[in-house]
Amino acid sequence: MRKIADCREFPSESACSLTITGKEDEVVRAAAEHAVSVHGHADTAELRDGIRSGLADETSHYGTVMIGKRKVSMDTLHQASEEWNRARRVPGFLREDAMDADDGSTVVVAVRFASRADYERLAADPAQNEWYRDSLAPLLDGEPMWIDGSWLPAVERSAARLPAQGQAPTAETSETREHA
């Protein structure tokens, strides 16, 4: 099972947003190196134990997909999301991906949280409902469709099997692997 370490889940003065994903030992090693070089921690057994105990399974993510019509530019929607992220600093929020559909008005937004509990805590927060009503809903044309659920591991091309630069990909250079 792949693991994930997310700096946003640890107290930090720098508001670091780095996320590290991979096999457990790889993530602990990389996160410890990051904690030392960026955050000034000493590389101790206690640091590595703390990192290991804070790891989450990559497949434990939960979230929502919103499909709606927009009344404003994608830049305006993106700015609203960035402002939400800066202002709210929601525990457990991992990422938001948005797609601007070719029809020029449909937007698909996928939001990932570290756990279902993190997502449900936000959904029950009156401040979140107020933000949606006052800041996001006015940017949309009508009520969007929402789909909640658990995220499965992504299927991606393995970096170890990518063709050399300038070389065309072949069937032998593509494979799938788990990655969020």
Q: Specify the number of domains making up the chain.
A: 2
Tokens of 18: 């780095």
Q: Average the pLDDT over 1-16 and give the result.
A: 77
Inter-residue contact 161 to 147 (CB < 8 Å):
no
The structure's pTM equals 0.60
Same domain, 67 and 146: yes
- Lowest-pLDDT choice from 26-30, 40-44, 113-117, 136-140: 113-117
Instruction: Please report, as a single letter, which amino acid is at residue 155.
Output: V
Any domain includes 75: yes
Any domain includes 123: yes
117: left (phi over 0), alpha (psi -120 to 50) or beta: alpha
Tokens of 138: 């006015």
Quick one: pLDDT at residue 1? 75
Those residues whose C-beta lies under 8 Å from the C-beta of residue 165, and which sit 6 or more positions away, are none
pLDDT, one tens digit per residue, over 72-86 is 999 999 999 899 888
Same domain, 45 and 79: no
Those residues whose C-beta lies under 8 Å from the C-beta of residue 155, and which sit 6 or more positions away, are 176, 177
Q: Which domain holds residue 39?
A: 3-58
Same domain, 136 and 86: yes
Q: How much of the chain exceeds pLDDT 70, in percent?
A: 83
pLDDT, one tens digit per residue, over 156-173 is 676 655 556 666 655 544
Quick one: pLDDT at residue 152? 80
Distances (CA, A) of 168 to 42, 159, 162: 45, 15, 10
The CATH number assigned to the domain holding 145 equals: 3.30.70.100
Inter-residue contact 92 to 113 (CB < 8 Å):
yes
- Lowest-pLDDT choice from 11-20, 74-83, 119-128: 11-20
